[in-house]
Amino acid sequence: QQPVQSPQAVILREGEDAVINCSSSKALYSVHWYRQKHGEAPVFLMILLKGGEQKGHEKISASFNEKKQQSSLYLTASQLSYSGTYFCGTARAGGGADGLTFGKGTHLIIQP
Amino acid sequence: DAGVIQSPRHEVTEMGQEVTLRCKPISGHDYLFWYRQTMMRGLELLIYFNNNVPIDDSGMPEDRFSAKMPNASFSTLKIQPSEPRDSAVYFCASRYRQGGEKLFFGSGTQLSVL
């Protein structure tokens, strides 16, 4: 079951904040976030395991609510380099024994 | 580390022809995944291998698609015969189980079937 991402697209000015949401109808073990720039391969951002932890790297952080099967990616004070398509990927089993199912992506455009 | 290597980068073929996509995973990685990316469906998991053994091929769309992993350093995805609706970007990704669940993607193969 493919997770649902929202919004489909967002346009921001440099310095503004953005939130990207990912939800699943199935119980999840983990949620993964990747960013893909045009014409390139997806690149790993972070993994969140069930337990509701929040992870962060500089101005990009994420949370995971396992009860609601939802995850959100937070981009604070966005930079031009944040532009791209963000994908959430979900796994229903842990230990690396499951392939990721990705959402359709959220297109993020950062304008100067 | 050279990363995941895919070839060719671009493939243009005519309907009905056989197409073979190639992937070399990162050395030491024990999982290999094939994904297909289209505007309509996004990133779809086609098949994945663990220690060269196919684990789940439920995402392979039809019998026209087949994948092999004869050894730890090489995998192929074959489409025979190809159809225009197979046009997409095909990504290979690998992962080391003991290193967490982070996927490393190759640069992809842009396939166009005319």
- Rounded to the nearest 5°, which phi and psi values hold at B99? -100, 15
Checking if the pLDDT of A93 tops 80, the result is no
Determine the Cα–Cα distance for residues B46 and B91; give it in Å rounded to an integer. Answer: 10
Task: Encode pLDDT of B26-85 as tens digits.
Answer: 999 999 999 999 998 899 999 999 999 999 999 998 899 999 999 999 999 999 999 999
Of A18-27, A97-106, B1-10, B81-90, the poorest mean pLDDT is in A97-106
Task: Encode pLDDT of B25-34 as tens digits.
Answer: 999 999 999 9
**What tokens were used for A51?**
């337990």
Which one-letter DSSP state was computed for residue B98?
Answer: G
pLDDT value for A88: 94
Comparing CA positions, the residue from A103, A87, A83 lying closest to residue A18 is A83
Task: Tell me if A2 and B108 make a contact (CB, 8 A cut-off).
Answer: no
| Strand duo A106-111 + A43-49: pairing | unpaired
**What tokens were used for A25?**
């109808």
Measured between beta carbons, which residues in chain A are less than 8 angstroms from residue B95?
Answer: 96
Determine the Cα–Cα distance for residues A16 and B27; give it in Å rounded to an integer. Answer: 40
Measured between beta carbons, which residues in chain A are less than 8 angstroms from residue B33?
Answer: 99-100
pLDDT value for A29: 81
Checking if the pLDDT of A95 tops 60, the result is no
